[in-house]
Structure formats: structure tokens, C-alpha cells
Amino acid sequence: MHQTFDHALEVNLLHANQAGADHNRAHLDAWGVTCLNFMSGPGAGKTSLLERTLHSLTPALKVAVIEGDMTTDLDAQRLRQCRVPVIAINTGRCCHLDAKMVAGGLRQWAREHNPAEFDLLFVENVGNLVCPAEFAVGEHAKVALLSITEGEDKPLKYPLMFQQADCLVVTKLDLAPYLQVDLDRIIAHVRQINPQVPIFPLSAQTGVGFSPWLAWLHAQLSPQIHEKALFA
Amino acid sequence: MHETDMTKALITTVRDWWTEQPRPPHITHIHLAVGEFAGVEPQSLEFAFASQKQNTFLAAAELVIEEIPLVAYCRPCNQEYRPRVGLEYSCPSCRGPMAEIRSGRELKIQHIQYQEAYAPNL
């Protein structure tokens, strides 16, 4: 004879990942490192944005990169040209980085370098507009990218990514003259879901629009970083 | 296909609970709440669960998914509304942005049903 029972659990499915992300962030805070998670669909220009950004920020700031890629390390090779430490994580069949993978990257970084000497950590997520939005990795802010070639409707079709973003970079602005694209419409679509998010239209090719983006980045630095600069 | 990872997370969480029980029970149903505004497709989740549960302690368990609609709240109009996901998220009355989500972000194991052999304490 069997008796049937019911047990209330009320646990978030992503509970374990969130705990891992909080753990990662505690390490980053102890090191005084600000971590940004870069997310977009494939080919929106994450690596190009990082290349130009790294050229602008270094060597005044010390920056490291964790690079998530499903199978290759082509992006990691490109970013190593910028003379910053790049930790490549192959996610295999997994379409996003999760907290555990990034924890592995942080351990490797701490073995090879002293993270406390760094100011910023850029995490370049796997190109995907859906999954990375659900998986925190320990970042202090999420940076979403949308290229103007992707179409004005993407914020409406993939709302979670744009709703979760703390900052939106609209890339490939240099291509605007060749496309029938309405930048105001893209921005209006994003504002429907995330009314306050800072939006930076720019071109990593020409550098147009980079100043406000770099100013936003500087504003994200942890207070400890300003101290580091003071005593340097 | 991150529903595969979500399912792994689900099974891990349930296993943690299961092993904590004095006598590991026979789980028959797992009740999930999946919001319309969560990045998960319920059908893909069911598919992934059906394949991953095989030869585990959950082999006989069924997944019961309750889909929770996206409900937003417009403060200026003091009203809740249902955005049309994929099309329009603004408040239908004042066209203001979707600034507050009341429900639809859920990705939660609500409760577990299980059976135990009835063994009265004689």
C-alpha cells in the first residue's frame, strides 16, 4: 500500500547557477575588479567592440578577458593581439557561459596572474540572443549589443536580453548609410522594455560614438579602482 | 538548446532534496512554473526531461508545467496589463514602457508529489 505526499519546494531552477555567480562576484569584489558580461547574437561585433575598447583603455587600465566560444579560440587569438590576458573557455555544445565555467576561468586567471592588480574583467559570452540572458556569471553589469544590420524588431523578438541589459551598445553604425534602418525605431523598441538603459550607438570600425561608451565604462569602475589609481 | 542545461539543473535540485529524505521516496510528479517571459520553451523542457530522466531515480516521474503569462504593471495608469510578447510591451492606455513585471519571469520548481510504502508503526 502506498501513500501519496506533496512537498512544496519553491526553488528557482537557476538557484545553483545564481549561487555560483554570487560566489564569483564576491571574489571579484575582493580583488576590486569590475566585471562586465558582453552578450549579443552571433556576429553583432562583440570581439570588434572589445578590440577597439581595449586599445582605448590600456595600458592606463589593466584589463583581462574571459572568452566564451563554442568550439574555436579564434576570438581569443584576436584579443591576445591587444596584449591583455585572455582566458579561452570552450563551451562545447553549451550555448552560453554559466557561473561554473566562469569560475574555472577565474581560477586559471588567478593561477597565471594577480587579479587584484587588474581593474576590469570583460567576459565575452557565446553569440546567442536567448540563453546567456538567463545565466548570471558574477558580472557587475550586463552589456548587450545589437548591430544595426540585425533588424529593428530584434528587441521585441528577444525581449529578455534587452530587458536584462544594464547597457546597450548599437554596433556597426558606419553601415547605416547603406541600410534602410531607422535607429530611432530600434531605440524606441528597446525603451518599451527597458526605459532607463543607457544606449550607445557606435562603430568599432571608425570609432564614431566611442567617447560616451568609454565614459560609461569608466563610471562602472569600482571605488577601489580609483584608490588603486591614486596610489599607483 | 539550453533546456538541456535547465533540465540538468532541475534534476540536480530534486536529487538534493531526494537524498536528504530519511527514506528516498518514489517521485511521481514534479510541478514547474515557467513564465512566458523566461527564456525557456516548455515543450523543449519536457522533451529534455523525458530523455534525461531515463535510468535515474526520476525514471517514473512526470513533469507538470504550469505556464505563467507575462503580466506588467503600469504605475501612471495604476493598472496591470498583458503585453503581446514579440510585438508590443508598452501600456495599452498611455503607451508608457513596460517598467514593472508582475509575473512571467518564473522558472521555479513549485512542488513534488511522491509515494511511500505505507508501513504503520505497530
At A114-162, the pLDDT tens digits run: 999 999 999 999 999 988 999 999 999 999 999 999 999 999 999 999 9
Mean confidence (pLDDT) of chain B: 92
pLDDT for the residue numbered A26: 98
Dihedral of alpha carbons A26, A40, A112, A228, sign: negative
For B83-122, write each residue's pLDDT tens digit: 999 999 999 999 999 999 999 999 999 999 999 866 655 5
What's the pLDDT score for residue B11? 93
Between chains, do B97 and A94 touch, taking CB under 8 Å as contact?
A: no
Which grid coordinates belong to A68?
A: 566564451
Dist CA A182 CA A135 (whole Å): 31
Best mutation target among A4, A13, A160, A194 (most B Cβ atoms within 10 Å) is A13
pLDDT band of residue A232 (cuts 50, 70, 90) is very low
Would you mind telling me the total number of residues written for chain A in this entry?
232
End-to-end CA, chain A: 74
The C-alpha of B64 sits at a distance from chain A's nearest C-alpha, in angstroms, of 14
If pLDDT is split at 50, 70 and 90, which confidence band does B4 have? confident
Domain boundaries, chain B: 3-14+27-115
Q: What is the pLDDT of residue A71?
A: 78
Write down the architecture of domain B3-14+27-115 according to CATH: 2-Layer Sandwich (3.30)
CB contacts under 8 A, A 16-75 vs B, are 16-17
What the block records as the C-alpha cell of B4 is: 538541456
Q: What is the DSSP string of A83-117?
A: TS-EEEEE-TT-SS--HHHHHHHHHHHHHHS-GGG
A46-105 pLDDT per residue, tens: 999 999 999 999 999 999 999 998 778 888 999 999 999 999 998 887 789 999 999 999
Q: Which residues of B touch A (CB under 8 A)?
A: 1-2, 5-6, 9-10, 12-14, 17, 25-26, 28, 32, 37-40, 85-90, 97-99, 107-118
Q: Tell me, what's the pLDDT at A73? A: 85
Measured CA to CA, the distance from residue A155 to residue A91 in angstroms comes to 26
Contact A95 B113 (CB under 8 A): no
Does the pLDDT of residue A2 top 90, yes or no?
no
Residues of chain B in contact with residue A130, where contact means CB-CB under 8 angstroms, are 2, 39
DSSP secondary structure string, A70-83? SS--HHHHHHHTTT
Determine the average pLDDT of the residues in A32-56: 97
Look at residue B121 in the predicted model and tell me its pLDDT.
57
Contact B26 A2 (CB under 8 A): yes
Instruction: Write down the pLDDT at residue A93.
Output: 75
C-alpha triplet A139, A126, A49: angle, nearest 5° = 75
ipTM of the complex: 0.83
B97 CA: distance to closest CA in chain A (Å):
4
Name the β-bridge partners of B111: A8, B31
Could you tell me the domains of chain A? 15-231 (3.40.50.300)
pLDDT tens-digit profile of A199-231? 999 999 999 999 999 999 999 997 765 555 554
